[in-house]
């Protein structure tokens, strides 16, 4: 039993079970292309529906819970669903549905090999994502986190050439390295300090670490916190962010769903879960940097709370990643560094500990997902239609592919933070959060990143629409790619605008989570 639980029901297992058996069906239908893809569509729809069915109770203030088995005293495999779970749990299968259509267009358009392995791993990766979203304790979280890592490796390695080998190897070394070196010891330390691994789901102020535990060994608790933060390599905080651009060797739908949605969102979700449900805003705000021997007590650095310290690391990440993005000509590399920066928005939000900052940060998990997936899908669509990857070669292409670039434009506005697209809403809350928590340098960093985002997204657009193409490029031969590619990205772009006008969609879940 954990605190704050109101409904014990096996209903919460539905999404987990569906995504567990979906890969089996994909493999079963390996000889019939259409049936195989159909499984993914059906599974995505069913998973989304089953997660959605949990929503009314959650919006009412209740928390779902179910324990599957106990391995050792205090170590169980258990699932729970609260507001935070649903923010992630809803977007993963929803976007999986659209990416499946996109997958079909992409994989068949390029006549890719090993498609069954691809779809199976995709499905298992979503299983991992759902598991992370619905995990009730650190052990379950860790388990599904590693499932995602292991089963996305074949997806990154898909092309099986030299570049893929290097990229995939780096991917797994970074993610496994951080999880084994940092996350695992963090889990062990938590168990030793607290006695169990269950998240405190009742509120975000108090965490698993009771005041007595914190008073007894503050340095160890602080150390555990930092091990957790750096252990979640999927959140791409500097200096452990390099796996993300290297994972771009994967086919674009993989980049789209997994590295814009499932993998990286699992990462920042874990950070949110750890800060809000494992430590709580009180503990995270109480322990200072001096307790991990960074800075001397009495100085600004020494007295900075560990949460705000994380916020500054994230702030540094978001500014530097934006600077680097300005230098990249490969469109996927530019988008990868943009993702690194945007993930840090979530981390900055949730670690500033102010109400509006947490609202902005958690909402951004969803808002960024819709906009980023549009951008990656557009990049992939451009590749399928033209085999072009470099932005400097895309002059004038927008007039041949107006829908693709139009959707890219809307999603870019969201990244920059222009009203009325959804990125503006989360940025608005984040900026209010910096004011509420009196962190002026973070305010400057957020505003600076707006200008930098404009600097590296707008040229892509104006060159595509308004610059005359060079005659050698022979742009006239290109046309809009097939509908299976273009429709999903237009839908996600439209949703980005919808979320900007009706931010209550995800704000309601956040408000229930924090009881704002």
| Residue numbers at the binding site for other proteins (CB under 8 A) | 170, 173-174, 177, 239, 242, 245-246, 320, 323-324, 326-328, 416, 418-419, 425, 428, 431-432, 435-436, 443, 447, 450-451, 454-455, 458-459, 462-463, 465-468, 503
What H or E segment, with its residue span, contains residue 79? strand 75-81
Based on CB atoms, which residue is closest to other proteins, 30 or 165? 165
Contact present, 361 and 427 (Cβ < 8 Å): no
Q: Is 297 helix (H, G, I), strand (E, B) or coil?
A: strand
CB 169 → other proteins: shortest distance, Å? 8
Based on CB atoms, which residue is closest to other proteins, 251 or 398? 398
Based on CB atoms, which residue is closest to other proteins, 61 or 419? 419
Q: Is 156 helix (H, G, I), strand (E, B) or coil?
A: helix
Based on CB atoms, which residue is closest to other proteins, 72 or 444? 444
CB 182 → other proteins: shortest distance, Å? 14
Q: Which residues of 37-67 are buried (b: 16+ CB within 10 A; e: fewer)?
A: bebbeebbbbbbebbeebbebbeeebbbbbb
Contact present, 116 and 27 (Cβ < 8 Å): yes
Q: Whole-angstrom Cα distance, residue 43 to residue 96?
A: 9
CB 47 → other proteins: shortest distance, Å? 31
The phi and psi torsions of 123 (rounded to 5 degrees) equal -65, -40
Based on CB atoms, which residue is closest to other proteins, 177 or 302? 177
Find the length of the chain: 516
CB 131 → other proteins: shortest distance, Å? 27
CB 266 → other proteins: shortest distance, Å? 21
Residues β-bridged to residue 70? 76
For residue 330, the tally of other CB atoms under 10 A from its CB is 15
CB 422 → other proteins: shortest distance, Å? 12
CB 375 → other proteins: shortest distance, Å? 19
Based on CB atoms, which residue is closest to other proteins, 72 or 326? 326
Contact present, 394 and 460 (Cβ < 8 Å): yes
The phi and psi torsions of 113 (rounded to 5 degrees) equal -90, 170
Contact present, 347 and 306 (Cβ < 8 Å): no
* Residue owning tokens 């205090």: 74
Residues 6+ apart with CB under 8 A from 203: 4, 280, 514, 515
Based on CB atoms, which residue is closest to other proteins, 58 or 460? 460
What letter would DSSP give residue 332?
H
Based on CB atoms, which residue is closest to other proteins, 269 or 456? 456
CB 173 → other proteins: shortest distance, Å? 6
Based on CB atoms, which residue is closest to other proteins, 15 or 398? 398
CB 335 → other proteins: shortest distance, Å? 15
- Give the strands of the sheet with 75-81, arranged side by side: 7-8, 64-72, 75-81
CB 451 → other proteins: shortest distance, Å? 5
What H or E segment, with its residue span, contains residue 71? strand 64-72
Quick one: which of 195, 21, 22, 169 has its CA closest to 100? 22
Q: Is 70 helix (H, G, I), strand (E, B) or coil?
A: strand
Contact present, 316 and 238 (Cβ < 8 Å): yes
Based on CB atoms, which residue is closest to other proteins, 103 or 437? 437
Contact present, 513 and 365 (Cβ < 8 Å): no
């Amino acid at each position: 039993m954990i605190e704050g639980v109101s409904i014990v029901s096996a209903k919460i297992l539905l999404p987990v079970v569906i995504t567990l058996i979906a890969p089996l069906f994909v493999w079963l239908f390996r000889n019939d292309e259409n049936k195989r893809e159909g499984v993914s569509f059906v599974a995505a729809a069913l998973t989304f529906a089953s997660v959605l069915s949990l929503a009314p109770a959650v919006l009412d203030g209740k928390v779902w819970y179910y324990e599957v088995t106990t391995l050792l005293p205090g170590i169980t495999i258990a699932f729970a669903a609260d507001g935070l779970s649903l923010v992630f749990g809803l977007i993963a299968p929803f976007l999986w549905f659209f990416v499946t259509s996109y997958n079909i267009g992409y994989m068949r358009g390029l006549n890719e090999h090993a498609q069954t392995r691809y779809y199976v791993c995709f499905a298992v990766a979503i299983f991992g994502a759902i598991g992370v979203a619905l995990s009730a304790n650190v052990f379950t979280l860790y388990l599904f986190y590693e499932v995602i890592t292991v089963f996305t490796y074949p997806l990154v390695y898909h092309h099986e050439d030299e570049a893929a080998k290097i990229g995939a190897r780096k991917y797994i070394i970074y993610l496994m390295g951080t999880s084994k070196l940092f996350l695992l010891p963090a889990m062990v330390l938590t168990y030793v300090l607290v006695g169990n691994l269950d998240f405190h789901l009742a509120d975000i102020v108090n965490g698993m670490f009771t005041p007595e535990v914190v008073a007894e060994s503050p340095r160890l608790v602080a150390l555990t916190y930092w091990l957790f933060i750096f252990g979640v390599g999927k959140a791409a905080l500097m200096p452990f962010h390099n796996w993300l651009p290297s994972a771009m060797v994967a086919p674009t739908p993989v980049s789209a769903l997994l590295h814009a949605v499932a993998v990286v969102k699992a990462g920042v979700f874990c950070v949110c879960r750890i800060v809000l449900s494992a430590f709580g805003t009180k503990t995270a705000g109480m322990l200072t940097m001096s307790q991990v021997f960074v800075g001397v007590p009495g100085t600004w650095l020494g007295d900075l709370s560990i949460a705000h310290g994380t916020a500054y690391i994230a702030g540094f990440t978001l500014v530097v990643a934006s600077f680097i993005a300005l230098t990249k000509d490969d469109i996927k590399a530019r988008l990868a560094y943009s993702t690194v920066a945007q993930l840090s928005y979530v981390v900055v939000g949730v670690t500033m500990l102010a109400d509006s900052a947490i609202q902005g940060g958690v909402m951004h998990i969803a808002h960024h997902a819709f906009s980023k997936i549009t951008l990656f899908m557009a990049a992939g669509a451009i590749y399928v239609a033209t085999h072009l990857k470099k932005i400097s070669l895309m002059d004038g292409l927008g007039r041949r592919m107006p829908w693709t670039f139009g959707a890219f434009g809307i999603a870019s506005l969201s990244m920059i933070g222009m009203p009325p697209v959804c990125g503006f809403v989360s940025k608005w809350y984040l900026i209010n959060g910096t004011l509420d928590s009196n962190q002026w340098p973070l305010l400057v960093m957020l505003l600076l990143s707006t200008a930098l985002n404009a600097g590296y997204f707008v040229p892509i657009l104006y060159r595509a629409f308004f610059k005359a193409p060079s005659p050698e490029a022979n742009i006239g031969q290109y046309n809009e790619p097939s509908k299976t590619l273009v429709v999903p990205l237009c839908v996600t772009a439209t949703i980005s605008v919808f979320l900007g006008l009706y931010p209550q969609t995800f704000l309601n879940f956040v408000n229930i989570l924090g009881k704002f």
